[in-house]
Amino acid sequence: MWFAVLALVVLPLLVLVYFELGALHRRRLLKEFNGPTPIPVLGNAHRIGKNPAEILATFFEWWHDYGKDNFLFWTGYSSHIVVTNPKQLEYILNSQQLIQKSTIYTLLHPWLGFGLLTSHGIKWHKHRKMITPSFHFNILQDFHEVMNENSSKFVEQLKKASAGDSIIDFQEHANYLTLDVICDTAMGVPINAMEQRDSSIVQAFRDMCYNINMRAFHPFKRSNRVFSLTPEFPAYQRTLKTLQDFTYDIIEKRVEALQNGSSQQEQDPSLPRKKMAFLDTLLSSTIDGRPLTRQEIYEEVSTFMFEGHDTTTSGVSFAGYLLSRHPDVQLKLYQEQCEIMGDDMNRNASFQEISQMKYLDMFIKEVQRVYPSVPFIGRYCDKDYNINGSFVPKGTTLNLALILLGYNDRVFKDPHHFRPERFEEEKPGPFEYLPFSAGPRNCIGQKFALLELKTVISKMVRSFEVLPAVDDLVSTDGRLNTYLGLAPEEKLKREAGRHKYDPVLSAVLTLKSDNGLHLRLRERGSSICI
Ligand code: HEM
């Protein structure tokens, strides 16, 4: 009897006291950080929200409550700091040691292994050094050709989909476009996702990205062990195998083709230079004097296919959505296209012409300020750190909140106004606006991404007038139709008038809209500017 009481009451109490004392100690260590008061066992988990959209809204509220500065919250007994202070961001992003990613990235391990995005330590340092030349100017020019070809196909697809004033989910269309671009540039193999949406490989990409996002904030499915017991697990394994088989197969074929191709070129040097894919660069690279193993090549190619398509899907889709809501901005973009592209608005813009499109550049910057493709960067403190004077104990997760930075009215005047021109007038400091991160682990694909976004949007603006799903949804005052970051009363007031086609922002690894991004397209009748 006494033994049963001990087992049922006293032991759990002792465990609770043990954890509470540990937490008390950690809370003392972290006392300089403001944040919501945690309760035993749950910390703040009960208040954080049930899904990514709610969690994002809570982060904005807490940020508002704690003076638009860093804040601390707890899930159970785990401490998390949301970092928005530029001084601390600078310290973290410049650190050569604080480079271990947070646990959310473990969801990527089965598919991507330990490629550039997910690895750390010596492996990351060596691979980063080896991969950096893959984005050399000449290679980017080859990639630009692929971007142009796919943008033209994209426009043709959109013409069909939007015929008869149909409302389309632009986010979905953008997903297939960016998949085509990345497969062709990373592996040198077109997968025709735009034309063959139901092919097994296209579905596998879609299912895998869905799975990662779905599990990221799920209380149970986040754990690999628990997820392996769910009914969804067998389908997930099939998807994983499809992606792995596909990529390994391409690698083998590319090795063969390169061997044959190089011997042909040796015999006849007048043959045209073959377009280089990222995979080719990897195949000819070495680490410590040895070629990369098949697994290392697989990990890096898969990393590029994930990071290079999920992010640009978000970038292209929010850019299209914002065009539809802000006709005045769209008109300025169109006028710039007329000035630079001259009489023939249907041709491809050259690499040099893209670099002359200054308003387009500011437009993309402004899109990334309000809807950054990567809303948070997660880092894990593998030991105690002193972050610019603040002590942060081992085991703390740091969420670098790139999305909150864009709404800081101390840096961006009237941040809910969508106004590309602000980038001519306001100069945010280097750690006040960070869509591509900064420091040694910044986005290695930044130039590639900007080139792709600009190539696609330049072509779209010349081909279509982009309209909102319903005419009334046009922004008449230049303000955004999403209300994150507004003071609570104003947010409530505006949300009461929310339309079903207003986006529901959801931030997991990339920013998406849970209910799609809907718009209409009207073909521009003439290819000549008036
Ligand atoms: C709008 C498009 C993009 C945005 C906003 C973006 C943003 C970012 C950000 C914020 C990071 C840091 C993430 C972190 O530390 O967790 C990152 C890392 C990375 N990005 Fe991008 N990215 C974009 C497109 C691309 C593309 C097109 C590629 C490849 C072709 C790419 C490849 C990578 C890789 C490999 C890393 C990891 C770098 C490392 O840890 O050394 N990204 N990106």
**Phi, psi at 25, each rounded to 5°:** -60, -45
Give the DSSP H or E segment for 145. helix 137-161
Tell whether ligand 1 has an atom less than 6 A from the beta carbon of residue 128. Answer: yes
Rounded average pLDDT over 247-254: 91
Spell out the SS3 assignment of 160-226. Answer: HHCHHHCCEEHHHHHHHHHHHHHHHHHCCCCCCCCCCCCCHHHHHHHHHHHHHHHHHCCCCCCCHHH
Residue 271: which pLDDT band, with cuts at 50, 70 and 90? Answer: very low
**Does residue 335 have a pLDDT over 90?**
yes
Using CA atoms, how far apart are residues 462 and 345, in angstroms rounded to an integer? Answer: 6
Rounded average pLDDT over 62-82: 94
| The Cα angle at residue 488 between residues 484 and 494, in degrees rounded to 5 | 65
Please state whether 513 falls in left (phi above 0), alpha (psi between -120 and 50) or beta.
Answer: beta
What the block records as the tokens of 83 is: 């970092």
Rounded average pLDDT over 432-436: 98
Rounded average pLDDT over 426-452: 95
**Does residue 227 have a pLDDT over 70?**
yes
Buried (b) or exposed (e) across 182-191, using 16+ Cβ within 10 A? bbbbbbbebb
In a 3-state reduction of DSSP, which class is residue 378? strand
Tell whether ligand 1 has an atom less than 6 A from the beta carbon of residue 319. Answer: no
Question: Regarding predicted confidence, which is higher, 14 or 465?
Answer: 465
Q: Are 504 and 453 in contact (CB under 8 A)?
A: no
Per-residue pLDDT at 189: 85
User: Lowest-confidence range among 208-222, 379-393, 469-483?
Assistant: 208-222
Using the mean position of ligand 1's atoms as its centre, give its distance from the Cα of residue 285 in Å. Answer: 21
Per-residue pLDDT at 340: 96
Q: What percent of the chain has pLDDT over 90?
A: 72
Q: Are 400 and 376 in contact (CB under 8 A)?
A: yes
Residue 38: which pLDDT band, with cuts at 50, 70 and 90? Answer: very high
Rounded average pLDDT over 119-127: 93
Residue 1: which pLDDT band, with cuts at 50, 70 and 90? Answer: low
Rounded average pLDDT over 53-82: 94
Rounded average pLDDT over 272-301: 87
Tell whether ligand 1 has an atom less than 6 A from the beta carbon of residue 444. Answer: yes
Q: Are 80 and 358 in contact (CB under 8 A)?
A: no
Tell whether ligand 1 has an atom less than 6 A from the beta carbon of residue 254. Answer: no
- Packed helices 137-161 and 170-186: angle between N→C axes, nearest 10 degrees: 150
Q: Which of 22-31, 315-324, 340-349, 501-510 has the highest mean pLDDT?
A: 315-324
Using CA atoms, how far apart are residues 418 and 421, in angstroms rounded to an integer? Answer: 9
What the block records as the tokens of 524 is: 């521009």
Tell whether ligand 1 has an atom less than 6 A from the beta carbon of residue 373. Answer: yes
Tell whether ligand 1 has an atom less than 6 A from the beta carbon of residue 70. Answer: no
Question: Regarding predicted confidence, which is higher, 262 or 309?
Answer: 309
User: Lowest-confidence range among 180-184, 238-242, 276-280?
Assistant: 276-280
Nearest CA to ligand 1 atom 11: 443
**Does residue 263 have a pLDDT over 60?**
no
What the block records as the tokens of 195 is: 């034309």
Per-residue pLDDT at 494: 85
Using the mean position of ligand 1's atoms as its centre, give its distance from the Cα of residue 56 in Å. Answer: 21
Non-local CB neighbours of 464 within 8 Å, separated by 6+ positions: 155, 158, 162, 521, 522, 523, 524
Nearest CA to ligand 1 atom 20: 443
Using CA atoms, how far apart are residues 99 and 158, in angstroms rounded to an integer? Answer: 41
Tell me how crowded residue 353 is: count the other CB atoms within 10 A of its CB.
Answer: 16
CA distances from residue 146 to 149, 196, 269 in whole angstroms, order as listed = 5, 18, 24
Nearest CA to ligand 1 atom 19: 443
Tell me how crowded residue 260 is: count the other CB atoms within 10 A of its CB.
Answer: 10
**Does residue 267 have a pLDDT over 60?**
no
Tell whether ligand 1 has an atom less than 6 A from the beta carbon of residue 439. Answer: no
What the block records as the tokens of 191 is: 């997968």
**Does residue 306 have a pLDDT over 50?**
yes
What global pTM score does this model have?
A: 0.93
Residue 233: which pLDDT band, with cuts at 50, 70 and 90? Answer: very high
**Does residue 273 have a pLDDT over 60?**
no
Mean pLDDT for the chain? 91
Spell out the SS3 assignment of 224-276. Answer: HHHHCCCCCHHHHHHHHHHHHHHHHHHHHHHHHHHHHHHHHHHHCCCCCCCCC
**Does residue 219 have a pLDDT over 80?**
no
Per-residue pLDDT at 487: 81
Residue 272: which pLDDT band, with cuts at 50, 70 and 90? Answer: very low
Tell whether ligand 1 has an atom less than 6 A from the beta carbon of residue 117. Answer: yes
Residue type, 440: P
Tell whether ligand 1 has an atom less than 6 A from the beta carbon of residue 403. Answer: no
Question: Regarding predicted confidence, which is higher, 6 or 408?
Answer: 408
User: Lowest-confidence range among 113-122, 440-449, 488-497?
Assistant: 488-497
Nearest CA to ligand 1 atom 37: 117
Rounded average pLDDT over 157-184: 96
Residue 514: which pLDDT band, with cuts at 50, 70 and 90? Answer: very high
Q: Which domains does the chain have, with CATH numbers?
A: 84-523 (1.10.630.10)
**Does residue 170 have a pLDDT over 60?**
yes
Can you list the pairs that 229-232 forms with residues at least 24 positions away whose Cβ atoms lie under 8 Å?
none
Q: What is the largest CA-CA distance in the chain?
A: 92
- Tell me the best of 311, 363, 437, 510 to mutate to test the pocket of ligand 1, counting ligand atoms within 8 Å of each CB and taking the most: 311
Per-residue pLDDT at 438: 96
Tell whether ligand 1 has an atom less than 6 A from the beta carbon of residue 73. Answer: no
Per-residue pLDDT at 84: 97
Using CA atoms, how far apart are residues 200 and 214, in angstroms rounded to an integer? Answer: 20
Tell whether ligand 1 has an atom less than 6 A from the beta carbon of residue 315. Answer: yes
User: Lowest-confidence range among 31-35, 130-134, 293-297?
Assistant: 130-134
Residue 235: which pLDDT band, with cuts at 50, 70 and 90? Answer: very high
Residue type, 485: G
Per-residue pLDDT at 528: 61
Rounded average pLDDT over 355-369: 98
